């Protein structure tokens, strides 16, 4: 099973599985053998994180508090089902907040971009989130200049609900999709 964590999500082309702290540790230090042993996926050498994730990996690992590993509320590894190649990561930033919202993020290695993988992975994870108790909405915070991520949010049916500013990144757009009525 990819990721090394709990139950996988399977789509037409992908398998997503929660990443464990051990897998994240191996990714952080670039230990390809250990990372592949932990996840069952193939990584390029050296196994650096996808764009915009390098600084986030330690926080992701630390966010997997005791007892929450494999529950799905953190990073998930995106793996091509046919080749077992690691394509990137898609994840949630913790459990739902007081309003029932969770935040999603996604990043692919550049050679896998513009092939629909991010949309396919994010759609699967949004679906998983909406199956969890207490989740009413999924949000994405996206730099205004990051067109590929904006397209993914649009394809997921997300609507812009706010704008904020980050001193380092610039304008940030906040998108949201609400859980459909049951």
Structural domain span for residue 103:
9-178
Only one residue has tokens 């949309």, namely: 119
Please indicate, yes or no, if residue 3 is contained in any of the structural domains.
Answer: no
Please indicate, yes or no, if residue 135 is contained in any of the structural domains.
Answer: yes
**If you average pLDDT over every residue of the chain, what do you get?**
90
Q: Confidence class of residue 86 from pLDDT cuts 50, 70 and 90?
A: very high
Give the number of domains in the chain.
1
The token pair that represents 26 in the structure block = 């191996």
What pLDDT digit, counting tens, does each position of 99-112 carry?
999 999 999 999 99
Please indicate, yes or no, if residue 158 is contained in any of the structural domains.
Answer: yes
> Which segments of 19-157 are extended strands (E)?
75-80, 86-92, 101-108, 137-143
Question: In CATH, what number is assigned to the domain containing residue 103?
Answer: 3.40.630.30
Does 31 have pLDDT greater than 90? yes
Q: Is 162 within 8 Å of 174 (Cβ atoms)?
A: yes
Give the separation between CA 4 and CA 56, rounded to whole angstroms.
19
Average pLDDT over residues 119-130: 98
What pLDDT digit, counting tens, does each position of 54-74 carry?
778 877 887 776 555 558 899
pLDDT at 59: 79
Does 1 have pLDDT greater than 50? no
């Amino acid at each position: 099973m990819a990721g090394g964590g709990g139950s996988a999500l399977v789509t037409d082309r992908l398998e997503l599985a929660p990443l464990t702290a051990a897998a994240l540790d191996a990714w952080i230090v670039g230990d390809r053998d250990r990372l592949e042993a932990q996840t069952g996926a193939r990584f390029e050498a050296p196994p650096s994180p996808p764009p915009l994730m390098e600084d986030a990996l330690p926080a992701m690992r630390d966010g997997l508090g005791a007892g929450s590993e494999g529950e799905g509320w953190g990073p998930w590894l995106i793996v091509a089902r046919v080749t077992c190649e690691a394509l990137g990561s898609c994840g949630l930033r913790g459990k739902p907040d007081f309003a029932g919202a969770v935040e999603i993020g996604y990043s692919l290695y550049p050679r896998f971009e513009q092939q629909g993988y991010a949309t396919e992975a994010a759609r699967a994870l949004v679906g998983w989130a909406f199956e969890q108790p207490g989740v009413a909405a999924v949000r994405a915070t996206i730099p205004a200049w990051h067109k590929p991520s904006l397209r993914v949010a649009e394809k997921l049916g997300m609507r812009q609900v706010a704008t904020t500013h980050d001193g380092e990144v610039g304008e940030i757009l906040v998108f949201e999709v609400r859980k459909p009525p049951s």
